Structure 1
């Protein structure tokens, strides 16, 4: 199972973080299936990829962990591909997500 983690500090206002993250995940061609105040979950669109390559993305917004006015956001992307192989769809998608969230 491929699983990639990413932590970043977000300097956007706390109220806007969940909606901005959802917007960026949609720009990465992911379907947002849940958006709460401290958690966002997204996935590949059903039917577009084989089930074994289906990517799930979990984003945890940790309001209790702040540093210099920034809030910690943890991203986990995973699927059933074998990490590091040519067929691993998760790594390129994870890199795309990192770039999309880089400047929040």
Structure 2
């Protein structure tokens, strides 16, 4: 199973953050599967890759550290594909989502860490 994680701290309002995050993931070709106050799960839209390569994104928003101006979130991006190549589909989607979060105009990026 391929699995990549990322940590982001952004300057954004907590009140509309879930909506902004949903729109960002939808722009990256994901369907929102589940959404709660501090958790969001999305799955890649089928059709471009085999089923085992479909990527799932889980986002945990750290409400304990959230303020009206800053939000911390942890991303887990994974699929059932064995990561036999460094540049596999899951890694490519991970880079796409990372770049989308960093380039988003709806918030200001404060801190980022990815692995």
Q: TM-score, normalised by structure 1?
A: 0.87
What is the aligned residue count?
Answer: 104
Unaligned runs of 5+ in 1: none
1:44 is aligned to 44
Gaps of 5+ in 2: 108-115
- Report deviation, 1:71: 1.8
Query: How far has the Cα of 1:86 moved from its partner?
Result: 6.5
The alignment status of 1:88 with 2:100, answered yes or no, reads no
Q: Larger relative CO (CA 8 A, sep 6+): 1 or 2?
A: 2
Query: What is the TM-score with the length of structure 2 in the denominator?
Result: 0.79
Alignment of 1:45-64 (within 5 A): 45-64=45-64
Contact 1:3 1:76 in 2 (8 A): yes
Q: CA RMSD in A?
A: 2.1
